[in-house]
């Protein structure tokens, strides 16, 4: 029987609960399609850091690398200085494993109501492709004279041809397989150096995809266009920070952060890709059972697709969408079921759902 080896990092806050719930769906999909999933849990996150003083060491990174894929819940804890876990684990793994392409689908599934009036399943199906290793996330710079009136902070932004081209090329390929529209989102009216390089790379790659039309939208204007007219977009390609911000906006349009999936994808296949919800550890609801595991389940579906298990990916996505359509709300006690119960419902639905009902996730 073919076996996929998954590294599992539950992490902090709601991370472990949503990951456990998502794995129930993965196992049900594996049973339905006759493959095996072997998981290895990695004790990483706030507790491990507070205990050892180390976020992730080289030996652990090497063990993660041996897996076919990584499933991550979330990290971040009020007891730990912001950035220590987020940069030390997530950003570090994205860079170490050359996951230059972050895939963030924004899709309103049939039967679901968007918080935004006028948005429905027919006009909300786009994918944000976010360059995932550079921009302002490279971390260069420094803070001088901290705590004094003369304090100065410099935060460098780096844009290189290889990583940007990987993201742009992936985005064009995806658009070519979808509705053949690509939008570059940046802020080239002010960030003229990086903006020019992004535009140059898009124009250059576009020559290889003559069927795909492309346009440009400034990141600030995107914050109006995306919620009011998501149907205008098919694939949006953007830099690391803009992608972070507009993907939370996209999450809102599709029903909330509890529904938004992502894949940190290594296009060369030289190291494992990592799949995680767009949301964080949500300390405000941690331990209450109020977290929606749909984002984690849909991320796990992207993982199955990445592992070549297309049918299993499709049923996990369809089962999640079908369970979501029955929930009275997408977050909090108003969901009417807790995180584990929703995970169990998704797993049960995986056994008999008709994947044709929601279309083809291979597009994303």
Q: Is 119 in the site for ligand IPM (CB under 6 A)?
A: no
Residue 322 touches which member of ligand IPM, ligand NAD, Mn ion, none, C-beta under 5-8 Å by kind:
none
The answer to whether residues 50 and 78 touch, using CB atoms and an 8 Å cutoff, is no
Considering only the stretches 51-59, 86-94, 162-170, 188-196, report the one whose residues sit in contact with ligand IPM under the rule CB under 6 A: 86-94
Distances (CA, A) of 237 to 94, 143, 184, 216, 260: 18, 31, 5, 10, 17
Strands 261-265 and 273-277: antiparallel
Instruction: Fill in the DSSP letter of residue 130.
Output: E
CB of 250 to ligand IPM, least distance (A): 11
Give the C-alpha separation, 253 to 322, whole Å. 18
Nearer to ligand NAD, 247 or 322 (CB): 247
Instruction: Build a one-symbol-per-residue string for 275-314: x at contacts with ligand IPM by CB under 6 A, - elsewhere.
Output: ---x-x----------------------------------
Q: Is 166 in the site for ligand IPM (CB under 6 A)?
A: no
Residue 18 touches which member of ligand NAD, ligand IPM, Mn ion, none, C-beta under 5-8 Å by kind:
ligand NAD
The answer to whether residues 83 and 136 touch, using CB atoms and an 8 Å cutoff, is no
Residue 91 touches which member of ligand NAD, ligand IPM, Mn ion, none, C-beta under 5-8 Å by kind:
ligand IPM
Instruction: Using CB under 6 A, list all residues that contact ligand NAD.
Output: 14, 18, 74-76, 82, 86, 90, 257-258, 276, 279-285, 291-292, 295, 331
Rounded to 5 degrees, what are φ and ψ at 190?
-125, -50
Q: How many residues bind ligand IPM (CB under 6 A)?
A: 6
Paired with 107 in beta bridges are 125
Residue 238 touches which member of ligand IPM, ligand NAD, Mn ion, none, C-beta under 5-8 Å by kind:
none
Q: Is 77 in the site for ligand IPM (CB under 6 A)?
A: no
b (16+ CB within 10 A) / e for 37-67? bebeebebbbebbeeeeebbeeebeeebeeb
Q: Is 91 in the site for ligand IPM (CB under 6 A)?
A: yes
Strands 273-277 and 69-74: parallel
Token pair, residue 364, equals: 């994303």
Rounded to 5 degrees, what are φ and ψ at 106?
-125, 100
Quickly tell me which residue has 């990086």 as its tokens.
194
Q: Is 234 in the site for Mn ion (CB under 5 A)?
A: no
Instruction: Build a one-symbol-per-residue string for 244-283: x at contacts with Mn ion by CB under 5 A, - elsewhere.
Output: x---------------------------------------
Give the C-alpha separation, 100 to 271, whole Å. 11
Q: Is 244 in the site for ligand IPM (CB under 6 A)?
A: yes
Give the C-alpha separation, 183 to 186, whole Å. 10
Residues that bind Mn ion (CB under 5 A): 244
Q: Could you list the residues that contact ligand IPM (CB under 6 A)? A: 86, 90-91, 244, 278, 280
């Amino acid at each position: 029987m073919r076996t996929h080896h998954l590294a599992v990092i539950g992490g902090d806050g709601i991370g472990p609960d949503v990951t456990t719930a998502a794995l129930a769906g993965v196992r049900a999909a594996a049973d339905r399609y006759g493959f095996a999933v072997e998981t290895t849990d990695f004790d990483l996150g706030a507790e491990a850091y507070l205990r050892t003083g180390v976020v992730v060491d080289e030996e652990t990174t090497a063990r993660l690398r041996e897996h076919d894929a990584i499933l991550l819940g979330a990290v971040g804890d009020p007891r730990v200085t912001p950035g220590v876990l987020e940069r030390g684990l997530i950003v570090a793994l994205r860079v170490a494993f050359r996951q230059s392409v972050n895939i963030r689908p924004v899709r309103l599934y049939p039967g679901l109501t968007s918080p935004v009036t006028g948005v429905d399943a027919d006009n909300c199906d786009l994918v944000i492709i976010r360059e995932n290793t550079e921009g302002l996330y490279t971390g260069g710079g420094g803070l001088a004279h901290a705590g004094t009136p003369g304090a100065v902070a410099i935060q460098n932004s780096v844009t290189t041809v290889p990583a940007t081209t990987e993201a742009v090329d992936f985005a064009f390929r995806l658009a070519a397989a979808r509705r053949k529209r690509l939008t570059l989102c940046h802020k080239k009216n002010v960030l003229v150096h990086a903006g020019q390089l992004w535009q140059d790379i898009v124009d250059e790659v576009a020559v290889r995809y003559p069927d795909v039309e492309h346009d440009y939208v400034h990141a600030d204007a995107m914050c109006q266009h995306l919620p009011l007219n998501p149907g205008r977009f098919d694939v949006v390609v953007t830099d690391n920070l803009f992608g972070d911000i507009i993907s939370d906006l996209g999450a809102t349009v599709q029903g909330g952060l509890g529904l938004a999936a992502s894949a940190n994808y290594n296009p060369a296949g030289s190291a494992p890709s990592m799949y995680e919800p767009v949301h964080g550890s949500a300390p405000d609801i941690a331990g209450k059972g109020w977290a929606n595991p749909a984002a984690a389940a849909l991320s796990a579906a992207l993982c199955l697709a990445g592992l070549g298990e297309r049918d299993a990916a499709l049923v996990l996505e369809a089962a999640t969408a079908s369970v979501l359509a029955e929930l009275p709300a997408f977050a909090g006690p108003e969901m009417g079921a807790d995180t584990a119960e929703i995970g169990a419902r998704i797993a049960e639905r995986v056994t008999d759902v008709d994947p044709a009902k929601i279309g083809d996730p291979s597009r994303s």
